[in-house]
Amino acid sequence: MICAVCKYTPIELFAGFGEECRFLEEMPASLDRAEAASHANLCGFGKALIEEALSSHVEQMVLVNCCDVMRRCHDVVAAEAACDRLFLMDLPHTCGPCQVTSLARALKRLRDSYEETTGIEFNLKACQTAFETQETEPGTYVAILGARAGKQLEDAVRDAFGLAVRNLTCTGTRSLAMPEQALQTDDEDEFFQAYAQALLSQVPCMRMDDSVGRRALLEDPNLAGIVYHTMKFCDFYSVEYAEVSSRAQVPVCKIESDFTIQSTEQLRTRVEAFAEALGFAGGLSSFAASNGKEAFGMAQATEAQGRYFAGIDSGSTSTDVVIVDDAGAIVSTLIVPTGAGASKSSEACLASALEQAGLTRADLARVVTTGYGRAYIGEGDSSVTEITCHAVGARHLDATVRTIIDIGGQDSKVISLDADGHVAKFVMNDKCAAGTGRFLEMMARALQVSLDEMSEMGLAWREDVAISSTCSVFAESEVVSLVAQNKDVADIVHGLCESVAAKTATLVKRAGGTGPYMMTGGVAANAGVVTAIERRLGQKLIVSDKAQLCGALGAALLARGN
């Protein structure tokens, strides 16, 4: 078995040696070995490739120098002796006559090198037989475009939409149009020239000098939506995203990863929220859809099923429960620390909220869960992303809201709504906790103040102290340094509030947010942060006394049928 990573890899060539090729698509759990052996700024996929080679000792691997990362991967894998047979094929980055001839020669060199290394004679007929006619699956589908997407991401998109998914990143767009004459000829020169032409005539990747041909991927009438994937430390696809978002005639959702499964929950949340906003039942339909209850799998409850509805928001810091009656009025709320287990916290929280309202579990017609722990809660009948739930909850609290700023314990989100309350666009912070509730908790500990004290201190500042770091760990070091300089604690807290506000304002801009703005999540209780954000936006924020319960409220209303 030969491992390959690029659609320009001549996999049919190795069929001429009786060998099969497989593309490395798995997203590893970590990149520990790769990071120890390679440069820190190598892209996530390059590190994943090295991690695979170092962890499982790949016997044979063929790399194509489509980008500098592949050259670096080749050097590292070779230096670590992680592969029995390792080959690097030169790839021209244009498709002119000279480049086709150059690639044909490179294919012959690769053939000769493999023959010499293995002692196996190349069989032209076996190679020609390996070419298959590739047919595109008909019907509506969601496309994954951009940088290479691993199998786990592809599965997440498929689960969210309940539609066919076409992975049109890298190897997913491999399609060779070989003339019949080239598949019948005994002339190797003629065959390799046609082979090189077919390889270079594919829909180009972004590493090719002329990538205009990629626009054809946006023109399929069966295309229903695009999940656009970018890779950390890879600028090529970030550049293309700007064009795709302006040219595409279908909705586009951008996500970024480091090609590991460490950020699975964030990616899943973004993809499912995108599916919900578009009204696909694989995730859950838009709360504003005309057939809302049925689309969410929430048929109208009968009197025998109970008259009350509950929403559980299982977050990283707290678990929140809201119970509403059949008129949508709130009858009970509760907020408890999530602790070590999302399932146990949700069960206890729901039981306490029922007891508070004088109800039993049998009185609940339906329970909807949300938050990062939603998939692990056994109490729910359905689950909906916090993006949709915050939108429903915020509109219930104030129908004028057009932009929601949700700063929770683990992440920050900005959700832009259209005039009818539909989620028009949303953005989230990446894996770093900077600018979140967890960030403020860390800083409060460093300053030896409570969160309540910090909230008021942010308003009583005198000196404008800047906290420049964008990393929670480094920001803590800055805070310690400022304390050592005898800076007033209130001034330091103000600097922290401004740091959070700056990051939030950037998210608002990316989401295209406009007023009126509502702030939700636990950080909405921090007066210093709220004031700092208001200064940045130039508008007052709507802050409800139910701000932290907004997600659970939206879930309860969706359980009711909104």
Check which CATH number belongs to the domain holding 440 and give it.
3.30.420.40
Question: Are 389 and 299 in a shared domain?
Answer: yes
**pLDDT at residue 431 greater than cutoff 70:** no
**528 & 411 share domain:** yes
- 429 and 377 inside one domain: no
Cα–Cα distance measured from residue 37 to residue 273, given in angstroms and rounded to the nearest whole number: 37
- Classify residue 485 as exposed, middle or buried by CB count within 10 Å of its CB (0-12, 13-18, 19+): exposed
Residues 350 and 444 in one domain: no
CA of residue 363 relative to chain centroid, distance: 38
- Of the three residues 95, 129, 163, the one that is the final residue of a domain is 129
CATH of the domain at 97: 3.40.50.11890
Nearest to 30, CA basis, from 5, 11, 54: 54
Report CA-CA distances (Å) from 152 to 22, 29, 40, 46, 136. 17, 11, 24, 17, 22
Q: How many domains does the chain have?
A: 3
Residues 392 and 410 in one domain: no
Q: Which of 129, 162, 178 is at the close of a domain? A: 129
* CB contact set of 519 (below 8 Å; sequence gap of 6+): 404, 405, 406, 407, 530, 533, 541, 542, 543, 547
414 and 531 together in one domain? yes
Mean pLDDT along residues 108-114: 95
Q: Are residues 416 and 367 in the same domain?
A: no
**Amino acid 264: pLDDT:** 73
Q: How far apart are CA 12 and CA 18, in angstroms?
A: 10
The chain-wide mean pLDDT, for the chain, equals: 85
In a domain, 281, yes or no: no
Average pLDDT over residues 155-182: 89
- Largest distance between two CA atoms of the chain: 86
CA 221/CA 218 separation, integer angstroms: 9
Report the share of the chain in percent with pLDDT over 70. 90
Token pair of 358 as six digits: 């004088």
pTM to 2 decimals?
0.77
DSSP state of 232: T
Q: Tell me, yes or no, whether 170 lies in a domain.
A: no
In a domain, 72, yes or no: yes
Tens of pLDDT, residue by residue over 32-51, are 999 999 888 888 899 999 99
Same domain as 532, residue 413: yes
Q: What is the pLDDT of residue 551?
A: 93
Closest CA to 524 of 440, 406, 385, 394: 406
- Checking if the pLDDT of 181 tops 90, the result is yes
Does residue 327 sit in the same domain as residue 356?
yes
Average of pLDDT values for 447-469? 80
Q: Please indicate whether residue 408 or residue 202 has the higher confidence score (pLDDT).
A: 202
For residue 164, tell me if it sits in a domain: no
Do residues 12 and 124 both lie within one domain?
yes
84, 107, 129 — which closes off a domain? 129
Is 356 found in the same domain as 442?
no
Q: Which domain holds residue 468?
A: 406-543
Nearest to 129 by CA among 15, 225, 238: 15
Does 515 fall in a domain?
yes
Within a domain: residue 353?
A: yes
Residue 462 included in any domain: yes
Helical H segments across 40-150, by residue range: 44-56, 68-79, 97-118, 124-129
H/E stretch holding 314: strand 308-314
155 domain-assigned: no
pLDDT tens digit sequence for 227-269:
999 888 777 787 888 889 889 999 999 888 888 887 777 788 8
Instruction: List, edge to edge, every strand of the sheet that includes 330-337.
Output: 330-337, 318-325, 308-314, 364-370, 382-383
The upper half-sphere exposure of residue 63, i.e. CA atoms within 13 Å in the direction of its Cβ, equals 24
**For residue range 382-392, what is the model confidence (pLDDT) as tens digits?**
889 889 999 99
pLDDT value, residue 299 = 39
- For residue 498, the SS3 value is helix
Q: What per-residue confidence (pLDDT) applies to 188?
A: 94
Q: How far is Cα 282 from Cα 157, in angstroms, rounded to an integer?
A: 9
Is there a single domain that holds both residue 357 and residue 457? no
Q: Are 314 and 372 in contact (CB under 8 A)?
A: yes
Residue type at 7 in one-letter notation = K
Q: Which of 298, 294, 269, 299 is nearest to 374 (CA)?
A: 269
Letter for the amino acid at 510? R
